Amino acid sequence: MARVYNWQLGRDMSYWYPEKRPQRQFAAVFDTNKCIACQTCTLACKTTWTSGKGQEYMLWNNVESKPYGSYPLAYDVRLLEQLDGQRWEGSRYAGRTIFEAAPAGERVLGWRPEQQDYSYPNVGEDDCAGQVDHGALIQVPHLSWFFYLARICNHCTYPACLAACPRGSIYKRQEDGIVLVDQGRCRGYQECVRGCPYKKVFFNPMTGTSEKCIACFPKIEQGVQPQCFVNCIGKIRLAGFLSAADQAKAENPIDYLVHLRKVALPLFPQFGLEPNVYYIPPIHAPLAFNEQLFGPGAGAAMAAYRGAPADRDLAGLLCLFGSTPSLVARWRRRGDLVSGLDEKASEIVRVPLLEPVHVRPAVDPTRQVVRTNCP
């Protein structure tokens, strides 16, 4: 095995192929605090990519209610048990990744879901941790809580599906880091399904090949964000490209949130894949749970997000989420206006830091009537 550097773990780790980062890396940030679980993203993806035979159970995009929701069933709990939890020494991961913990003769520590595990896509939906019998005092963090976690393929820097495939049918595009399946080479061994810790690779029994999220790369090539992004009602998503940790640019919105402000964190970084979908942790959930999902930086990320009303740059950038279907390569704030720019630094969208508020008088002086909220 090769030794590669994983910046999310703060150390070198073992991987089956030498480190070869793409020319640029597709990445995204999801704000879990704004997700309402309307599942519009799920349906947008489903109707675009997985409406055919053999794809009925495929949800390249899904939204789970944490702490109990998961699709397929218990995909995260089972792997955390196999890894025996997690051990962090500050920002450095001292435990084993799924590559380092793989049994002899296997490339990746993993498991293959049974058909029954895909039968409950909405398990745990809106189920809260704790119990509310006769009302409760609202405080932060909440005693009884849940939150929505939207998930797509992470298009990892060190994909487990790629490492596990004996056919070499999974590859990572050099131009944008998107991970794809060459179905001409795939023979349906399903080792990718077994290896992916996020279970975002699916087997099509009709074609006998594996399929997965392609990050809507035909749209990415035209400078447009994926379907699940542009259809998001809660405006929780922002897609772009992530620079290397030591080359972060403040004008790049993804770099700013991930590398500079560190308010957006990877999902289960302890697995060792260096995933490229990042989450702003829910500020009303317990710190211990957020640290299990997003690593030791969760507390600082939660504090930064809570402080956004007094941080005009961070608040302004968050306003750009969902404001345009185009990829936002750069951003800037001038006073109370925030702009999203394309790769040529041309402005593509401009939004106010604060929405204008108009308060109508209770009495209409022209018609001499009292306005009410009744139709």
pLDDT in tens, 327-346: 999 999 999 999 999 999 99
- Does any domain span residue 300? no
Q: Mean pLDDT over residues 159-174, rounded?
A: 97
Q: Mean pLDDT over residues 277-303, rounded?
A: 97
104 with 172, same domain: the answer is yes
- Does any domain span residue 294? no
Chain centroid, CA 361 distance in Å: 44
31 with 106, same domain: the answer is yes
Strands 179-181 and 170-172: antiparallel
253 with 355, same domain: the answer is no
| Nearest by Cα to 151 from 269, 273, 32 | 32
Instruction: Give the pLDDT confidence score for residue 374 in this predicted structure.
Output: 57
- Three-state secondary-structure class, residue 220: helix
Q: Which of 280, 313, 337 is the last residue of a domain?
A: 280
Instruction: Give the pLDDT confidence score for residue 66 in this predicted structure.
Output: 97
Chain centroid, CA 145 distance in Å: 20
Q: What are phi and psi of 289, to 5 degrees?
A: -70, -40
- Does any domain span residue 291? no
Q: How does the average pLDDT of the chain come out, rounded?
A: 95
Q: Mean pLDDT over residues 131-154, rounded?
A: 84
Question: How many residues belong to the chain?
Answer: 375
- Does any domain span residue 72? yes
Query: Residue holding tokens 């993804």?
Result: 254
Taking only the tens place, the pLDDT of each residue in 172-228 is 999 999 999 999 999 999 999 999 999 999 999 999 999 999 999 999 999 999 999
Q: Please report how the helices 298-306 and 287-294 are oriented relative to each other, as an axis angle in degrees rounded to 10.
A: 120
244 with 375, same domain: the answer is no
Separation of alpha carbons 57 and 120, rounded Å: 10
Question: At 161, is the pLDDT very low, low, confident or very high (cuts 50, 70, 90)?
Answer: very high
pLDDT at residue 142 greater than cutoff 90: no
Q: Mean pLDDT over residues 158-181, rounded?
A: 98
Q: What are phi and psi of 164, to 5 degrees?
A: -80, -20
- Does any domain span residue 315? no
Q: Which of 222, 251, 280 is the last residue of a domain?
A: 280
Residue 266 near residue 93, CB atoms below 8 Å: no
Beta bridge mates, 203: 210
Q: Mean pLDDT over residues 19-48, rounded?
A: 97
131 with 38, same domain: the answer is yes
CATH number at residue 185: 3.30.70.20
Residues in Cβ contact with 254 at an 8 Å cutoff, skipping those fewer than 6 apart: 27, 28, 29, 238, 240, 241, 242, 278
230 with 86, same domain: the answer is yes
Instruction: Give the pLDDT confidence score for residue 368 in this predicted structure.
Output: 87
Q: Mean pLDDT over residues 291-305, rounded?
A: 98
- Does any domain span residue 226? yes
Instruction: Give the pLDDT confidence score for residue 132 in this predicted structure.
Output: 76
| Nearest by Cα to 303 from 330, 265, 338 | 265
215 with 143, same domain: the answer is yes
pLDDT at residue 144 greater than cutoff 90: no
270 with 347, same domain: the answer is no
- Three-state secondary-structure class, residue 280: strand
- Does any domain span residue 36? yes
Separation of alpha carbons 159 and 40, rounded Å: 27
Domain count, the chain: 2
Residue 80 CA neighbour count, 13 Å, CB half: 13
**28 exposed, middle or buried (CB, 10 Å; 0-12, 13-18, 19+)?**
buried
This prediction's pTM: 0.94
85 with 230, same domain: the answer is yes
Instruction: Give the pLDDT confidence score for residue 359 in this predicted structure.
Output: 84
Separation of alpha carbons 245 and 284, rounded Å: 29
Percent of the chain with pLDDT over 70: 98
Instruction: Give the pLDDT confidence score for residue 134 in this predicted structure.
Output: 74
Beta bridge mates, 12: 5
DSSP for residue 219: H
Q: Which of 225, 247, 280 is the last residue of a domain?
A: 280
270 with 366, same domain: the answer is no
213 with 93, same domain: the answer is yes
Taking only the tens place, the pLDDT of each residue in 232-289 is 999 999 999 999 999 999 999 999 999 999 999 999 999 999 999 999 999 999 999 9
Taking only the tens place, the pLDDT of each residue in 79-88 is 999 998 789 9
Instruction: Give the pLDDT confidence score for residue 259 in this predicted structure.
Output: 98
374 with 251, same domain: the answer is no
pLDDT at residue 229 greater than cutoff 60: yes
Q: What 3 state SS string does 286-312 have?
A: CHHHHHHHHCCCHHHHHHHHHCHHHCH
Instruction: Give the pLDDT confidence score for residue 133 in this predicted structure.
Output: 74
**Domain extent for 330:** 324-375
Phi-psi label, residue 223: left if phi above 0, alpha if psi -120 to 50, beta otherwise: left
- Which tokens belong to 352? 């106010």
- Does any domain span residue 53? yes
Residues in Cβ contact with 229 at an 8 Å cutoff, skipping those fewer than 6 apart: 28, 41, 237, 238, 239, 322, 325
pLDDT at residue 165 greater than cutoff 60: yes
pLDDT at residue 143 greater than cutoff 70: yes
Q: Mean pLDDT over residues 3-32, rounded?
A: 97
Instruction: Give the pLDDT confidence score for residue 46 in this predicted structure.
Output: 98
Instruction: Give the pLDDT confidence score for residue 342 in this predicted structure.
Output: 96
pLDDT at residue 164 greater than cutoff 70: yes
Instruction: Give the pLDDT confidence score for residue 373 in this predicted structure.
Output: 66
